[in-house]
Structure 1
Amino acid sequence: MTDQPRKLRSAQWFGTADKNGFMYRSWMKNQGIPDHEFEGKPIIGICNTFSELTPCNAHFRKLAEHVKRGVFEAGGFPVEFPVFSNGESNLRPTAMFTRNLASMDVEESIRGNPLDAVVLLAGCDKTTPALLMGAASCDVPAILVTGGPMLNGKHHGRDIGSGTVVWQLSEQVKAGKISIHEFMSAEAGMSRSAGTCNTMGTASTMACMAEALGVTLPHNAAIPAVDARRYVLAHLSGMRIVEMALQDLRLSKLLTREAFENAIRANAAIGGSTNAAIHLKAIAGRIGVDLALDDWTRVGRGTPTIVDLQPSGRFLMEEFYYAGGLPAVLRRLGEAGLLPHPDALTANGRTLWENVKEAPNYNEEVIRPLNNPLVTDGGLCVLRGNLAPNGAVLKPSAATPALLKHRGRAVVFENFDDYKKRIVDPDLEVTADSVLVMKNCGPKGYPGMAEVGNMGLPPKLLAQGVTDMVRVSDARMSGTAYGTVVLHVAPEARAGGPLAVVRNGDWIELDCEAGRLHIDIDDKEMAARLAAWKEAQTRNPKDASGYRNLYVEHVLQADEGCDFDFLVGCRGAEVPPHSH
């Protein structure tokens, strides 16, 4: 040992022959670590969101072991640590409520520990953005490994998509088309292996976004969770992160504006989740890239959706991987001049185009030609108007084309409980042309902005054969859901946005092509309603303490990424001097 500082960050802990170095090394040695592991090797953190309460990530113990093998092989020393695992399927009120909390856990775990680089193990919807947000705030070398999608669901001899089939069959029960027993019989076959949802839901979308951003190795997004190639990729990622540590290839060199624009274009091509708009904005905010909601219009609109996956299309993630995965999609975009920045750097040290220029497409039904798309214009539709001054979004590939331009009278629900109570009322005054409006489900209002925006239709209309209606809310919806659903209305109702004062019978106009969401009342009437609303407000006592208080007081609106206001920006990985 010497007193000379080492280049590696971990040398601040382990690289001195003094009292501090003695203590740091000695305490680690109680795990049976020999001297030579502290002699200039990159210390690689494995940030693990394993939890048996997060079914998507429940196989991560095994995944982490394969990462460790790769780290050891490349000459690094792996150290695994847990962080908060915000699983979508069990966590209440919604995993979005704790995404920022998880990101804080990741950020402080990285900054405060002797780590030269990190491998981020994520999978379930919010774990991917949370880990990228936390790592971006520290700007250390990092590579993401997702857990992969589960195998295709099976029910009565056909493939079914996780999440999507729940919405479909639930509507059929309400319409009287199938029995409750038929509905329940699909339960066991929907989730039959480890992994995330096998549709192009938020988990698969964010895995694709990470690959398009260049923070994973190629093919990370689509390899099934139980395919041996998933573990090979984990091993290779462990090897590569050691090189990244020695090269000081930090996230700021990968998460550039150009990378985010590539991801926006890719999202349109895959028919990705509307949730990507919120998560990419939050990640960009942490690394210092000024990404705006209107960038989704500028970059994404006009891009055909060529991946034929549920909920927009027919197939599932298994077929997507076997067809060629995201590299095949990116190659198709690049050859048509639709990849905005093919020279963007990626985690393996090559450009995005170098990674995909020879990628094969084995199935043109799953990954379609550009001249035979699933949807001609699959970019997220960003809407503005007097009902959404700061914006709202709609996913055209999951909508009914005839409803993308629509005018109807509002049927208003004050909150989700009000909706659940009244939507089943046979006397509800509603027609197929009505616009269902739900308030107080945004970041502050729920709180946490739950995935309840794809409101189920009134049973009495389902029984008449109605399959879709225009729905408007400040909520989100699951990436596995579908329908002509306007989401993320900003400002939200609880923050005093115009949505708060919509009344039953108000005329609402939606024009996706024009990017317009309008309520047919004049400015004077709007001002009067908002003034009366503000006068009537009282604070919810549940918002007064604990993490909920922190959340409601500091969460930003949907168009700003729903991060906490005090977390925006890159704080780096510098730590205070030794305290011993």
Structure 2
Amino acid sequence: MTEAKKPLRSSHWFGGADKNSFIHRGWMRNQGIASHQFAGKPIIGICNTFSELTPCNAHFRQLAEHVKRGVIEAGGFPLEFPVFSNGESNLRPTAMLTRNLASMDVEEAIRGNPIDGVILLTGCDKTTPALLMGAASCDVPALVVSGGPMLNGRHKGGTIGSGTGVWQLSEQVKAGTISIHDFMAAEADMSRSAGHCNTMGTASTMASMAEALGVTLPHNAAIPAVDSRRSVLAHMSGMRIVQMVWDDLRLSKILTREAFCNTIRTIAAIGGSTNAVIHLKAIAGRIGVALDLDDWTRWGRGAPTIVNLQPSGKFLMEDFYYAGGLPAVLRRLGEAGLIPFPDALTVNGDTLWNNVREAPIHDDEVIRPIDKPLAADGGLCVLRGNLAPRGAVLKPSAATPSLLKHAGRAVVFENFDHYKSRINDPDLPVDAQSVMVLKNCGPLGYPGMAEVGNMGLPPKLLAQGVTDLVRISDARMSGTAYGTVVLHVSPEARAGGPLAIVRDGDWIEIDAMGGRIHLDISDEVLQARLAAREQQPAETAPVAPPGGYRGLYLEHVLQADEGCDFDFLVGCRGADIPAHSH
């Protein structure tokens, strides 16, 4: 006897013979849709972040068509809908300011519409966490399809990585080792195909994060955007989401605590972006999984970085895919007993380990053996101390080893405008031992927590051959960036954190591997400075005008260690059928 299938969510819109169903079906029919297309078929929403203002996602019209073919082949009915597309490269002051806005758009679009399952088309940095956050709040069957990385950049006979090359070349211009003409010539060489950054920046980290979480089909992270296999993956994902609907395989069955722990370990192995700390916490908060900064120490530290990609290493995402991609990384981790929870379920209905246990590995230089890592301990470092009571983070694989334990005098910038006005001053009191400190660039301070934490070095030090300094801020940095950079200091300066009271010449110590950051003043002096600051608030970066979305943001955003979500968005609200209005 065949088991009865669970009634489809969309049947509440399209399944009756009453006035409401008449209205829902009738208006849809103006697109040339026949009655039988509504009859008992899963309605698959294709949540599309296509935008020509988001260059990473500008090819998504074509990608969506391949998803639709797969949905139709599997007996579903695809309906594409747009959501806010927050691209990091163009959106000012930062796409992080609107990540939560995009997630709200996604959540309400899914909940309010006749959708049984959803394909999330993601690419640029914030689109992946935003779409996962929104879908997790609804807890529907959902599957991520990333847009894929650009082809390797080619410059002067060699490769050049998107983002990473910008930071390298701009520093060389300031140091006087290349001309402005050489710098400008690299612009077209860097971005020569559709897709997101081809380094292990935030976009690639987010695609890898989604695959490690189990919310994509295998190989999603690395297939280049213009490779025909990306289109095949989209097609197969469209087919798979239909079966996920029939199986009621919702996100809460995939996004378990075990999946998050596996992902933290994976991000260490790939040398992933520090931004993953914030986004993973926000996604966990939406699905109701407990996750905190200490989990990055518990599950990330001690894990080797074995992916030799820029900015930590040498190669680019195209090379990573040809070498075996993320399945090859997971196989290496699994064979060494380094996947904490190999039986975690994924969207294809199998476990993470079963998906990768026989994955081919084609290049030991790109995906290194466990005993020949790029960094023996590549897990993101969580630092705590009187300067960051609720924590800060540092990426050791992108840092200068000799600076991971360091002490030096602070050179302080009160905000990013102050930094820009001061950094080129030949009389700036800075040397190779100094610690650069940037304030008021956190969630509230910029606002939006822009990627300015990897402050460019003073030209006078660059001219001396200095290539790295310890830098500390409450800001973020691009995943394509590198250096010994302490980020996400929490609480931020604008929220009254101790970072706000650091002064030029203060002695600061960091021990990244020991997890310590310390401002070398007495508790009495620290408290006196904080009290004085409360009486006379320091000048900060310009505050957003009251009202509007920015007003909502400033009132409700949480701190970095809490994922920078809005306080009223944390938690899973489900996808209850909204009442009709007819």
The TM-score with structure 1 as length reference comes to 0.99
Once the two structures are superposed, residues 279-338 of structure 1 have per-residue CA deviations (whole angstroms, 9 ceiling, x without a partner) of 000000000001001100000000000000000000000000000000000000000000
Root mean square deviation of aligned Cα: 1.1
Tell me the residue number matched to 2:170: 170
Aligned partners of 1:5 and 1:11 also within 8 Å: no
Q: Which amino acid aligns with 1:249?
A: L
Q: Matches of 1:442 and 1:63 in 2, distance apart?
A: 35
Once the two structures are superposed, residues 111-146 of structure 1 have per-residue CA deviations (whole angstroms, 9 ceiling, x without a partner) of 000000000000000000000000000000000000
Q: Matches of 2:322 and 2:543 in 1, distance apart?
A: 52
Tell me the residue number matched to 1:308: 308
> How do 1:315-394 residues align onto structure 2 when only pairs under 5 Å count?
315-394=315-394
Aligned partners of 1:138 and 1:573 also within 8 Å: yes
Tell me the residue number matched to 2:107: 107
Tell me the residue number matched to 1:570: 572
Aligned partners of 1:5 and 1:15 also within 8 Å: no
Q: Matches of 2:504 and 2:148 in 1, distance apart?
A: 44
Q: Matches of 2:513 and 2:10 in 1, distance apart?
A: 53
Q: Percent identity?
A: 79
Q: Which amino acid aligns with 2:574?
A: G
Once the two structures are superposed, residues 433-488 of structure 1 have per-residue CA deviations (whole angstroms, 9 ceiling, x without a partner) of 00000000000000000000000000000000000000000000000000000000
Q: Matches of 2:545 and 2:566 in 1, distance apart?
A: 16
Q: Which amino acid aligns with 2:122?
A: A
Q: Tell me, what secondary structure is at the counterpart of 2:488? A: strand
Aligned partners of 2:383 and 2:512 also within 8 Å: yes
Q: 1:550 aligns with which of 549, 552, 560?
A: 552
Tell me the residue number matched to 1:95: 95
Once the two structures are superposed, residues 136-184 of structure 1 have per-residue CA deviations (whole angstroms, 9 ceiling, x without a partner) of 0000000000000000001111000000000000000111100111111
Tell me the residue number matched to 1:42: 42
Aligned partners of 1:392 and 1:490 also within 8 Å: yes
Return closer, same or farther for 1:117/1:33 CA change in 2, 3 Å cut-off.
same
Tell me the residue number matched to 1:118: 118
Tell me the residue number matched to 2:411: 411
Tell me the residue number matched to 1:396: 396
Tell me the residue number matched to 1:291: 291
Once the two structures are superposed, residues 212-262 of structure 1 have per-residue CA deviations (whole angstroms, 9 ceiling, x without a partner) of 000000000000000000000000000000000111100000000000000
Aligned partners of 1:44 and 1:117 also within 8 Å: yes
Aligned partners of 1:543 and 1:552 also within 8 Å: no
Q: Tell me, what secondary structure is at the counterpart of 2:445? A: coil
Return closer, same or farther for 1:18/1:316 CA change in 2, 3 Å cut-off.
same
Once the 2 structures are TM-superposed, how far is the Cα of residue 522 of structure 1 from its aligned partner?
A: 1.0
Q: Matches of 2:247 and 2:372 in 1, distance apart?
A: 43
The TM-score with structure 2 as length reference comes to 0.98
Tell me the residue number matched to 2:142: 142
> How do 1:247-258 residues align onto structure 2 when only pairs under 5 Å count?
247-258=247-258
Once the 2 structures are TM-superposed, how far is the Cα of residue 67 of structure 1 from its aligned partner?
A: 0.1
Tell me the residue number matched to 1:233: 233
Q: Matches of 2:398 and 2:513 in 1, distance apart?
A: 15
Q: Tell me, what secondary structure is at the counterpart of 2:118? A: strand
Aligned partners of 1:13 and 1:114 also within 8 Å: yes
Once the two structures are superposed, residues 503-548 of structure 1 have per-residue CA deviations (whole angstroms, 9 ceiling, x without a partner) of 0000000001210000001111111111111122389663422111
Aligned partners of 2:112 and 2:577 also within 8 Å: yes
Q: Matches of 1:343 and 1:548 in 2, distance apart?
A: 42
Q: Which amino acid aligns with 1:79?
A: L
Q: Tell me, what secondary structure is at the counterpart of 1:490? A: coil
Once the two structures are superposed, residues 59-88 of structure 1 have per-residue CA deviations (whole angstroms, 9 ceiling, x without a partner) of 000000000000000000000000000001
Tell me the residue number matched to 1:484: 484
Aligned partners of 1:436 and 1:472 also within 8 Å: yes
Once the 2 structures are TM-superposed, how far is the Cα of residue 500 of structure 1 from its aligned partner?
A: 0.4
Q: Matches of 2:470 and 2:295 in 1, distance apart?
A: 24
Q: Tell me, what secondary structure is at the counterpart of 1:509? A: strand
Q: Matches of 2:574 and 2:467 in 1, distance apart?
A: 50
Q: Matches of 1:541 and 1:345 in 2, distance apart?
A: 45
> How do 1:449-464 residues align onto structure 2 when only pairs under 5 Å count?
449-464=449-464
Structure 2 unaligned residues grouped into runs of 5+? none
Structure 1 unaligned residues grouped into runs of 5+? none
Tell me the residue number matched to 1:196: 196
Tell me the residue number matched to 2:563: 561
Q: Matches of 1:175 and 1:578 in 2, distance apart?
A: 64
Q: Matches of 2:407 and 2:577 in 1, distance apart?
A: 56
Tell me the residue number matched to 1:217: 217
Aligned partners of 1:324 and 1:361 also within 8 Å: yes
Q: Matches of 1:566 and 1:508 in 2, distance apart?
A: 36
Q: Which amino acid aligns with 1:423?
A: I
Return closer, same or farther for 1:247/1:6 CA change in 2, 3 Å cut-off.
closer
Aligned partners of 2:111 and 2:578 also within 8 Å: no
Once the 2 structures are TM-superposed, how far is the Cα of residue 5 of structure 1 from its aligned partner?
A: 12
Aligned partners of 1:288 and 1:570 also within 8 Å: yes
Q: Tell me, what secondary structure is at the counterpart of 1:108? A: helix
Q: Matches of 2:553 and 2:153 in 1, distance apart?
A: 36
Q: Tell me, what secondary structure is at the counterpart of 1:529? A: helix
Once the 2 structures are TM-superposed, how far is the Cα of residue 416 of structure 1 from its aligned partner?
A: 0.4
> How do 1:409-558 residues align onto structure 2 when only pairs under 5 Å count?
409-537=409-537, 542-558=544-560
Q: Matches of 1:541 and 1:406 in 2, distance apart?
A: 34
Q: Matches of 1:148 and 1:522 in 2, distance apart?
A: 50
Q: Matches of 1:86 and 1:266 in 2, distance apart?
A: 26
Q: Which amino acid aligns with 2:557?
A: V
Q: Which amino acid aligns with 2:551?
A: N
Q: Which amino acid aligns with 2:173?
A: V
Q: Matches of 2:7 and 2:432 in 1, distance apart?
A: 66
Q: Matches of 1:575 and 1:221 in 2, distance apart?
A: 33
Tell me the residue number matched to 2:277: 277
Q: Tell me, what secondary structure is at the counterpart of 2:384? A: strand
Q: Matches of 2:234 and 2:113 in 1, distance apart?
A: 23
Q: Tell me, what secondary structure is at the counterpart of 1:284? A: helix
Return closer, same or farther for 1:541/1:351 CA change in 2, 3 Å cut-off.
closer
Q: Tell me, what secondary structure is at the counterpart of 1:186? A: helix
Tell me the residue number matched to 1:160: 160
Q: Which amino acid aligns with 2:507?
A: W
Q: Which amino acid aligns with 1:572?
A: G
Q: Tell me, what secondary structure is at the counterpart of 1:350? A: coil
Q: How many residues align?
A: 577
Q: Matches of 2:523 and 2:89 in 1, distance apart?
A: 42
Segment of structure 1 superposing worse, 570-579 or 137-146: 570-579
Tell me the residue number matched to 1:261: 261
Once the 2 structures are TM-superposed, how far is the Cα of residue 340 of structure 1 from its aligned partner?
A: 0.4
Q: Tell me, what secondary structure is at the counterpart of 1:382? A: strand
Return closer, same or farther for 1:454/1:15 CA change in 2, 3 Å cut-off.
same
Aligned partners of 1:121 and 1:146 also within 8 Å: yes
Q: Matches of 2:324 and 2:188 in 1, distance apart?
A: 29
Once the 2 structures are TM-superposed, how far is the Cα of residue 577 of structure 1 from its aligned partner?
A: 2.1
Aligned partners of 2:6 and 2:246 also within 8 Å: no
Aligned partners of 2:447 and 2:544 also within 8 Å: no
Q: Matches of 1:105 and 1:5 in 2, distance apart?
A: 30
Q: Which amino acid aligns with 1:123?
A: G
Q: Tell me, what secondary structure is at the counterpart of 1:177? A: coil
Q: Tell me, what secondary structure is at the counterpart of 1:489? A: coil
Tell me the residue number matched to 2:71: 71
Q: Tell me, what secondary structure is at the counterpart of 1:544? A: coil
Q: Matches of 1:231 and 1:237 in 2, distance apart?
A: 10
Q: Matches of 1:572 and 1:501 in 2, distance apart?
A: 43
